[in-house]
Structure 1
């Protein structure tokens, strides 16, 4: 693996032009989201195009990938063009706010690994600020925009840290979106919680909660993690 690219089994992610690189938690989200029956998928904040390409590998859906950062959008466009899924993914260099105004369709699945760490110190590099902080997209905006673009029976799947997950849940309830499934991602058994992947839908229902451990206490990947990422990672 190189810092400038990440090679998956069916596609490559070039990432030399973007601040945010391929990371384990994003790969978990891309592999986890259920898309087999989806016809239209929206990826909000696609970055390098990672999530769009991962879900394209497991579906026949048409995918719109929206990215506000111009350099990242250009890189995503290149990554999509070099993939086997170029005919089904369209990258939009735009804020999701502007895209939602001109969008004339609804989506079966909306996925996002959105800005977070809204109360943390800012990094010096602007593109990292856009990717890691919430100035460009408030969680309340994300909930409202998703409720507008999501099909009545659709699913909204989002990954955030614990505090931001709670904030999004409160915002989502205001637009009648309710969590029905949560995947708690932990670094290892008895380790710290990294992220929560929450699945939302319009109809309230009991929320099923599960935990994914990335590594065992011995430092090896857990069987659940291997099973999830095996379709993508070269070394599994």
Structure 2
């Protein structure tokens, strides 16, 4: 499988690890990372989100964990081959059993969000078989620093369930980015940021394509430091 090439790093991919997708690019680009010195990525896959954070914040030290040994191997390879290798580490780890005294300024995840089903495609990455929303949120609330952010991308129809579970763990929504695939379509995804502080939610709207296969100006602007095609603009 061909690598996915960004401006400052390449992503090696294989059939056993969830490939680079738009959700990961959006989360890596939209997440608030400016104050994050210690970062934990849950379910790193190829490592793309961690690499994007490392590029955006030169002070971030990032631990990326995954339950899939193939994902750990390929993400570690991608980290080593990047300009940010000294600040990135990939580790084989089930979040539910993660035992550390470390607190993180940012915990970020593109989590499995489908209910368990009969599909054989990317089971661990796509289905809540090994990591439920409840487990992700409970453990993240334990590992997050007092002023830290917990940031995810999920389907829009999961917002109510996810936010209620966060509330039970004393995590309050700070920011919501409502994402449309095409300008004329209904929103399908949300980037959500939570913290231990209660405040008014900042709501933003974002469009990926202004028409089919034609990227919006806001998407081109957001990803201009990453995607190769922006060099041609």
Matches within 5 A, 1:151-166: 151-166=145-160
Structure 1 CA distance for aligned equivalents of residues 63 and 214 of structure 2: 36
Q: Residues 5-47 of structure 1: CA distance to partner in whole angstroms, max 9, x if unpaired? A: 1000000000115331101121011011121221101101100
The alpha-carbon deviation at position 208 of structure 1 amounts to 1.4
What secondary structure sits across from 2:177 in the alignment? strand
Helix, strand or coil at the partner of 2:51: helix
Indicate if the aligned counterparts of 2:109 and 2:153 stay in contact, CA closer than 8 A. yes
Q: Structure 1 residues 3-12 or 46-55, which shifts more?
A: 3-12
The CA deviation at 1:186 is: 0.5
Q: How many residues of Structure 1 are paired with residues of Structure 2 in the alignment?
A: 229
Q: Which residue of 2 aligns with 1:193?
A: 187
Compared CA separation, residues 190 and 81, structure 1 to 2 (3 A):
same
Q: Does the Cα contact within 8 Å between 1:17 and 1:71 map onto a contact in 2?
A: no
Which of residues 2, 22, 25 is equivalent to 1:24?
22
Per-residue CA deviation, residues 124-152 of structure 1 (Å, 9 max, x unaligned), is 25xx1111000101111111101101011
Residue 204 of structure 1 corresponds to which residue in structure 2? 198
Q: CA deviation at 1:219?
A: 4.5
Is 1:46–2:44 an aligned residue pair?
yes
Cα gap change, 1:193/1:20 in structure 2, threshold over 3 Å: closer, same or farther?
A: same
Superposition TM-score, scaled by structure 2 size? 0.94
Partner of 1:9: 7
Look up the SS of the partner of 2:163 in the other structure: helix
- Picking from 37, 53, 56, the partner of 1:55 is 53
Q: Over residues 195-224 of structure 1, what are the superposed CA-to-partner deviations in whole Å (9 max), with x where a residue is unaligned?
A: 100000111111111111011136521111
Partner Cα separation in structure 1 for residue 22 and residue 165 of structure 2: 27
Aligned partners of 1:17 and 1:75 also within 8 Å: no
Match in the other structure for 1:67? 66
Report if aligned partners of 1:17, 1:72 keep a CA contact under 8 Å in 2: no
- 1:130 matched to 2:130? The reply is no
Q: Distance in 2 between matches of 1:11 and 1:206?
A: 37
Check the 8 A contact 2:208/2:216 in 1, yes or no: yes
Residue of structure 2 aligned with 1:107, choices 97, 104, 109: 104
Helix, strand or coil at the partner of 1:198? strand
- Partners in 1 of 2:42 and 2:159 — Cα distance? 16
Once residues 56 and 6 of structure 1 are traced to their aligned partners in structure 2, the CA distance between those partners, rounded to angstroms, is 17
Q: Which runs of 5 or more structure 2 residues have no equivalent in the other structure?
A: none
Query: Matched residue of 2:229: which SS?
Result: coil
Match of 2:89 in 1: 90
Contact kept in structure 1, 2:153 and 2:191, CA below 8 Å: yes
Partner of 2:144: 150
RMSD: 1.3
User: Contact 2:13 / 2:46 at 8 angstroms: preserved in 1?
Assistant: yes
Kindly indicate whether the alpha-carbon contact (under 8 Å) linking 2:182 and 2:212 is maintained by their aligned counterparts in 1: no
Which secondary structure does the structure 2 equivalent of 1:216 belong to?
Answer: strand
